[in-house]
Amino acid sequence: MRIAIAGAGAMGSKFGWHLKKAGNDVILIDTWDRNIAAIRENGVVARVKDEEIAEKMPIYSPEEIDEQHESVDLLIVFTKSMQLENMLNSLKPIISKDTYVLCLLNGLGHEDVLERFVTRDHIIMGVTMWASMMTAPGHITFANDNGNVEIQCLDPKGKDETQKIVKILTDAGLNASYSENVMYSIWRKACVNGVVNALCALLDADCKQFGHTKEADELTRNIVQEFADVAQYEGVNLDRKEVIEHVESLFDTPHYPSMHQDLVQNNRPTEIDYIDGAVWRKGLKHSVATPYCAFITRLIHAKEDILNVK
Ligand code: NAD
């Protein structure tokens, strides 16, 4: 299977590294010049335990993708949410009617973007609990060793082909499974991120510091309620009690969520418009009030402005 990975950051590089190591035909596409140069020179260098292991594979910028390139069987998208549409526009030459697109981005609503490029029976949505960090261009560190991937095709017609992709991912050590309700998992993860990612970034706190404030319970309950209220209109019945318990389980760990890393540590734009912001937007569409999500989204954007994030 010919695989392209669009977005060779922390996660795209990780998935590329595993899939190439397992013997697949993999190409990477990325927008960051220094990252492209580093991967061209040394491959994707992954720190595994105390060892650095490089895996070489071709990498291109989106501008280099043209009709000379063969179309791919599987395109895995791992851009940040706000980069997805531009990336897909550039990749039209390698997307054919037979190309499956697997989306493992965090956040909500990506399927609406994907539908502009491929049919629903070729859109595979998913969530992953693997985690990875970039330590330098071309260099990644695996942030856990017990992740998984859960995927489902939006149309049952694509189930058999998606099962084959489950096997390819699992054979590459990525522990994948076919889900019968992936939208639930996507909403659940977005809801958890909508609480801890956004609030830790705003408060410049880790999960444990936030979780031990007097306000944590009330804030968590209200945000989860808004996600659940809107999710219902999108055909997803979030189990509020279970999600709240899951969020509270994170309050034991002094971990800085990725939005804190992006905004506070690296002054990079956040995915807030696809998390709390998406619930605010969808709430407006369905006439559901989401004052917490709206306020949090505006505050994150204000903080992006203050920090002069580009
Ligand atoms: P990332 O920021 O590492 O990479 C995304 C893109 O940004 C890549 O094209 C990368 O080259 C570019 N980039 C990274 N650092 C840059 C810099 N300093 N300057 C310019 N460009 C830079 O993103 P990611 O962590 O791989 O996340 C991709 C998607 O997967 C997101 O939707 C994220 O929420 C989701 N996700 C991430 C993790 C994780 O552990 N990192 C886990 C699960 C899901």
Classify residue 143 by burial, with Cβ atoms within 10 Å: 0-12, 13-18, 19+.
Answer: middle
Residue 189 annotated to the active site: yes
Question: For the whole model, what pTM was predicted?
Answer: 0.97
The minimum-distance atom of ligand 1 relative to the CA of 133 is 41
CB of residue 299 inside a 6 A radius of ligand 1: no
Tens of pLDDT, residue by residue over 15-43, are 999 999 999 999 999 999 999 999 999 99
Domains and CATH numbers, the chain: 2-180 (3.40.50.720), 183-307 (1.10.1040.10)
The minimum-distance atom of ligand 1 relative to the CA of 128 is 43
CB of residue 138 inside a 6 A radius of ligand 1: no
CA-nearest residue for atom 19, ligand 1, is 32
Q: For residue 245, which amino acid is it?
A: E
How many residues can be counted in the chain?
310
Phi, psi angle pair for 144, to nearest 5°: -155, 165
Output the pLDDT for position 302. Answer: 98
Tens of pLDDT, residue by residue over 200-209, are 999 999 999 9
Residue with tokens 């013997």: 23
CB of residue 132 inside a 6 A radius of ligand 1: yes
Tens of pLDDT, residue by residue over 161-200, are 999 999 999 999 999 999 999 999 999 999 999 999 999 9
Tens of pLDDT, residue by residue over 231-274, are 999 999 999 999 999 999 999 999 999 999 999 999 999 999 99
How far, in whole angstroms, is CA 20 from its chain's centroid? 20
Catalytic entry in 14, 20, 80, 189: 189
Antiparallel, parallel or unpaired: β 2-6 and 123-128? unpaired
Output the pLDDT for position 192. Answer: 98
Report the share of the chain in percent with pLDDT over 70. 100
